[in-house]
Amino acid sequence: MTANCLHDRLDALARDGTLESADRWRSRAEALDWLDSLSPVLSWDGAGGVADRAQALRARLERADATLGRRLRAAIRAGHGPALFRRWQQESPGPIEGEHYDALDELLAGVLRLTDPGAASRPLEPEMVFYQPTPARHALDMLARSRLGPRDVLVDLGSGLGHVPMLASICTGARAVGVEWQPSHVQVARRAARALGLHDVEFRAQDARDADLSGGTVFFLYTPFVGSVLRTVLDALRDEGTQRPIKVCTFGPCTRLVADETWLCTDEPVRADRVAVFQAAGPRKD
Ligand SMILES: C[S@@+](CC[C@H](N)C(=O)[O-])C[C@H]1O[C@@H](n2cnc3c(N)ncnc32)[C@H](O)[C@@H]1O
């Protein structure tokens, strides 16, 4: 970018008096990304005045985001989560495919305020997959397409820092359970849920192979494990799914394997870069 372009864009952003408003969070995220991309230019000794302007703009945008985060947390504590869910879905800017993160993840980071769990307290065993959060737009897509509602119980198998169960509870009023191998992750998730006043979310520090699945109606797996661990958990889910109707939602590489389970079916095309929603038929009729 030339010096002129840089000045022009800084001028335009500085003049934009609506940039602080609540509904401009995507534009702020875009502007903050742009400021991040300028770091190498701004750390140059001669950048002086431009660096100061960029710094002031960043502080202004971050203040607006912090204010919005506080307002959304208060709205969630007051039980207005489902209305926020509808708004986030309507404001969704287009295709959701892909594993990248976007402005919605940044917005929700300011809402859920998940802290760093520090070094892993319990080493993962072979076939267990390390923590990586589901991009928020996919989590919301899963909640909508599984039609999760207040009578449901969502179980996230390998729940990491817990944002999927928390979003399920906030957005739909469903009960939600997170089962996670790492006790340190579970501690972070419990603290965050408590701070948001989410009483219907529970986090269990447990191996998913030992989890009691009997209360769940919708199960979510963002490829938390592979191989024999996945096989054991799918067998346990099949035992549930042949007794009663359940849904199994998946994201990432495990989708391909879950799609081969003959006790599950789906009406939609199955793709690895979007959540798949499978149904189990329930008790056999013969
Ligand atoms: C890819 S992350 C998914 C996190 C979360 N479900 C989400 O979508 O944001 C996988 C998580 O599964 C956990 N995990 C791996 N093996 C597990 C097991 N056997 N039982 C419970 N959790 C496990 C990991 O510690 C990690 O946090």
> What string of DSSP letters covers 1-22?
--HHHHHHHHHHHHH-TTTTSG
Nearest CA to ligand 1 atom 14: 158
pLDDT band at 96 (very low <50, low <70, confident <90, very high): confident
3-state secondary structure of 160: coil
Where are the alpha helices (H) located in 79-220, listed in sequence order? 81-90, 103-112, 136-145, 163-172, 183-195
- Confidence (pLDDT) at 89: 78
| Per-residue confidence (pLDDT) for residue 84, from 0 to 100 | 87
Confidence of residue 17 (pLDDT cuts 50, 70, 90): confident
Tokens of 100: 């990248």
Q: Is the CB of 179 under 6 A from ligand 1?
A: yes
Distance from C-alpha of 26 to C-alpha of 117, rounded to nearest angstrom = 27
User: Is 133 near ligand 1, meaning CB less than 6 Å away?
Assistant: yes
CA-nearest residue for atom 11, ligand 1, is 158
208 Cα–ligand 1 center, Å: 9
Provide the pLDDT for residue 99: 87
Whether 182 lines ligand 1, by a CB cut-off of 6 Å, is yes
- From 125, 134, 159, 188, the mutation candidate for ligand 1 (largest count of ligand atoms within 8 A of CB) is 159
Specify the CATH architecture of the domain 90-280.
Answer: 3-Layer(aba) Sandwich (3.40)
Q: Of residues 234 and 44, which shows the higher confidence score?
A: 234
CA 269 / ligand 1 centre spacing (Å): 25
H-run or E-run covering 31: helix 25-37
Question: Does the Cβ of 208 fall within 6 Å of ligand 1?
Answer: yes
Do the beta carbons of residue 223 and residue 254 sit within 8 Å? yes
Amino acid residing at 57: L
> Does 249 contact ligand 1 (Cβ within 6 A)?
no
Residue 264: Cβ within 10 Å count: 22
How much is the pLDDT for 132? 96
Which residues of the chain are in CATH 3.40.50.150 domains?
A: 90-280
**Local structure of 56: helix, strand or coil:** helix
Question: Which is the closest atom of ligand 1 to the Cα of 182?
Answer: 25
Residue to substitute in 99, 116, 164, 182 for testing ligand 1 pocket (most ligand atoms within 8 angstroms of CB): 182
Name the phi and psi angles at 104, rounded to 5. Answer: -65, -35
Mean pLDDT of the region 255-279: 94
pLDDT in tens, 180-192: 999 999 999 999 9
Q: How much distance in Å is there from the Cα of 178 to the middle of ligand 1?
A: 9
* pLDDT tops 70 at residue 53: yes
pLDDT at 7: 83
How much is the pLDDT for 42? Answer: 72
CB 255 within 8 A of CB 263: no
- The phi, psi pair for 221, rounded to 5°, reads -135, 115
The pLDDT value recorded for residue 39 is 80
> Which of 27-36, 176-185, 195-204, 219-228 is the least confident region?
27-36
Q: 3-class SS at 262? A: coil
Q: What separation in Å is there between the alpha carbon of 46 and the centre of ligand 1?
A: 47
Ligand 1 neighbour 224 (Cβ under 6 A): yes
Instruction: Name residue 142's amino acid.
Output: M
Q: Is the pLDDT of residue 46 over 70?
A: no
Which pLDDT band holds residue 282 (cuts at 50, 70, 90)? confident
Q: How far apart are CA 267 and CA 96, in angstroms?
A: 19
Rounded to whole angstroms, the Cα distance separating 186 from 190 reads 6
CA 158 to ligand 1 centroid distance, Å: 3
Mean pLDDT within 192-217: 97
Q: CA–CA distance from 278 to each of 14, 54, 126, 198 (Å)?
A: 48, 48, 27, 27
Quickly state the pLDDT bin for 4 (edges 50, 70, 90): confident
Rounded CA separation 168/177 (Å): 10
Coil, helix or strand at residue 32:
helix
> For a pLDDT cut of 90, what percent of the chain falls above it?
78
Does the beta carbon of 181 lie inside 6 Å of ligand 1? yes
